[in-house]
Structure 1
Amino acid sequence: MKFFIKYEEATQICDKTQYNEASIWEKIKLNIRMLYCSATRKYSARNAKLTSAIKKSKVKTMPQDQKAAMKERLAKELAN
């Protein structure tokens, strides 16, 4: 069994953990890595802040029909 993982693998597991997609074994390996690697701890903290900010945001997207109408108007204006 491989307990020690590379930084790149740790970041991938960290991303998966944020979306509840990581297995228990991956979480264990990540936690071991975080014990001795400050870069992984910093990455995890930044990732958690980003996820939190996105969840708190009240971003609303434009409906598809309005997007299509805007693209058509833009195409007409560029054609002129």
Structure 2
Amino acid sequence: MGLFFIKCKEAGHVCDKHQYEEASITEKIKLKIHLMYCSACRKHSASNKKLSQLLNKIKFQFLSSEEKDNIKKSFEKELKKHQQ
């Protein structure tokens, strides 16, 4: 292929890098050119973008160690009841 033409496999990799802001300017240009003529990769890129936007909206909440221990104790207690 030519200087700015890449295969779908490389385009997918660059798309992922671009999603995490790790793609170089040259890679971004190659991806843009590839997306102009490849509908499958355009769909993949659009899906990737939507997924990233959804994940950025989520406010992750994690359980504290104490909460995890309480859940574990409750589970073990209930399990013992059903094993008898």
TM-score range, shorter chain: 0.7 to 0.9
Instruction: Render the CA deviation track for 1:28-50: whole Å, top value 9, x for unaligned.
Output: 11011001000111011000100
**Residue 77 to residue 33, structure 1, CA distance change in 2 (3 Å):** same
Q: Percent identity?
A: 49
In structure 2, the residue matched to 1:25 is 26
Distance 1:72 1:7 in 2: 50
> How many pairs were matched up?
80
TM-score after normalising by structure 1: 0.78
Structure 1 unpaired stretches of 5+: none
Q: Which runs of 5+ in 2 are unaligned?
A: none
Q: Deviations over 1:10-62 (max 9, x none)?
A: 11111111111000010011011001000111011000100000111223122
Question: 1:6 aligns to what?
Answer: 7
**What does 1:1-80 correspond to in 2, within 5 Å?**
2-68=3-69, 70-71=71-72, 74=75
Which has the greater radius of gyration? 2
How far residue 76 of structure 1 moved from its aligned partner, in angstroms, is 7.1
Structure 1 stretches of at least 4 aligned residues deviating more than 4 Å after TM superposition = 71-80
Higher mean alpha-carbon deviation, 33-42 vs 58-67, is at 58-67
Report deviation, 1:70: 3.8
Once residues 64 and 13 of structure 1 are traced to their aligned partners in structure 2, the CA distance between those partners, rounded to angstroms, is 38
TM normalised by structure 2 equals: 0.74
